[in-house]
Structure 1
Amino acid sequence: MGTSLQKSGFYLLKLHDALSKAAFMLGSGALAVIVASFAYEVVMRYFFNAPTRWASDLVSFLLLSSVFLAAPWLTREGGHVSITLLPDLLPAKWSRRVVSAGFLVATVVCLWAGWIIAGEVRILFQRGTMTLSAVPAPKWWFTALILFGFVNSPFYFLRLAFGIQPDTTTEEAGNA
């Protein structure tokens, strides 16, 4: 029974990793589109005197998307901001405890923010609120991306807090 439960947990972690990596790749693609649209805007504005109406809005939406799509994977990789003054001054045993406590606090804060954002997504969806932009889009789409980042990152904070390290052996073997 325990082995079956462990396998299920392993597959859930792998599924979460796959979802987060796919979101990270989408976020990276959004950054590429940002660069391309800015380049297009510059060419159109300064060489053809025909600025676009949509480029600035697109960049804003894609920047928001890239941040919250990439957040869970960056949390997994330890790419979040960390101030390590206190843990660096403590003995190793206490340092691990302080860092783990920080990860647990981050988990609670992210889940709390996710709860609030989920309510906002529901309200925006029910009201049909649109963005105030040259090309209006449903506002809940973008708020849902914020929700994605705030709901998925805490699972990595929990894994970090309890020392459940991501399995990199299969990734390293695939890259060799």
Structure 2
Amino acid sequence: MLSKAAFVLASAALAVIVASFAYEVVMRYFFNAPTRWASDLVSFLLLSAVFLAAPWLTREGGHVSITLLPDLLPEAWSRRIVAAGFLAAAAVCLWAGWIVAGEVRILYARGTMTLSAVPAPKWWFTALILFGFVNSALYFLRLAFGTQGERIPSEARNA
């Protein structure tokens, strides 16, 4: 439920990005009055969209995967290889989350702000990165120990 809500927020962020760019283009080229904030807003929303959407995409198997090896192996071995890949991905995401969590604490303690037209606390955005990594790791663990074999199309396993 949390991942779905985050995905909806990521989708809304993409809609705001499109609207902001359209507004910026109209203001810049038709009224010769460029905005100071549009570029910064788009940067922040793009970062937010990526890390808000990552857990849901991980859950749905929307990540990039190269299935050459699992496709060539028998089903039992294919599942083991895929599970090992999910475990490796979970480990990397948890490790990155650990690093980012330390950075969130530092940014919060220092009160560091973004260098933008409209400054915002940096820890807000870094916390979104932490959210994306940790929740993606949890979904990778679920896939590794759950029914990830169903995510591999039967045609690919039997090829």
2:59 to 59, 68, 76: 76
Q: Partner residue of 1:86?
A: 69
Q: Partner residue of 2:14?
A: 31
Q: Partner residue of 2:135?
A: 152
* C-alpha deviation, 1:113, in angstroms: 0.6
What do residues 81-118 of structure 1 show as CA deviations (whole Å, max 9, x unaligned)?
11111111111111110000000111111111101100
Q: Find runs of 4+ consecutive structure 1 residues off by over 4 angstroms.
A: none
Q: Normalising to structure 1: TM-score of the pair? A: 0.82
Q: Partner residue of 1:99?
A: 82
Alignment of 1:92-171 (within 5 A): 92-164=75-147
Where relative contact order (Cα < 8 A, 6+ residues apart) is larger, the structure is 2
What do residues 108-150 of structure 1 show as CA deviations (whole Å, max 9, x unaligned)?
1111110110000000000111111111110000000000000
Partner amino acid, structure 2, of 1:118: A
2:31 aligned with 1:45, yes or no?
no
What do residues 49-95 of structure 1 show as CA deviations (whole Å, max 9, x unaligned)?
00000000000000000000000000000001111111111111111
- Once residues 147 and 11 of structure 2 are traced to their aligned partners in structure 1, the CA distance between those partners, rounded to angstroms, is 26
SS in 2 for 1:53: coil
* C-alpha deviation, 1:38, in angstroms: 0.2
Residue-pair matches, total:
148
Gaps of 5+ in 2: 149-159
- Once residues 164 and 137 of structure 1 are traced to their aligned partners in structure 2, the CA distance between those partners, rounded to angstroms, is 42
Percent identity between matched residues is: 88
Partner amino acid, structure 2, of 1:108: A
- Once residues 146 and 24 of structure 2 are traced to their aligned partners in structure 1, the CA distance between those partners, rounded to angstroms, is 47
* C-alpha deviation, 1:164, in angstroms: 4.5
Gaps of 5+ in 1: 1-17, 166-176
- Once residues 93 and 151 of structure 1 are traced to their aligned partners in structure 2, the CA distance between those partners, rounded to angstroms, is 29
CA RMSD of aligned residues (A): 0.9
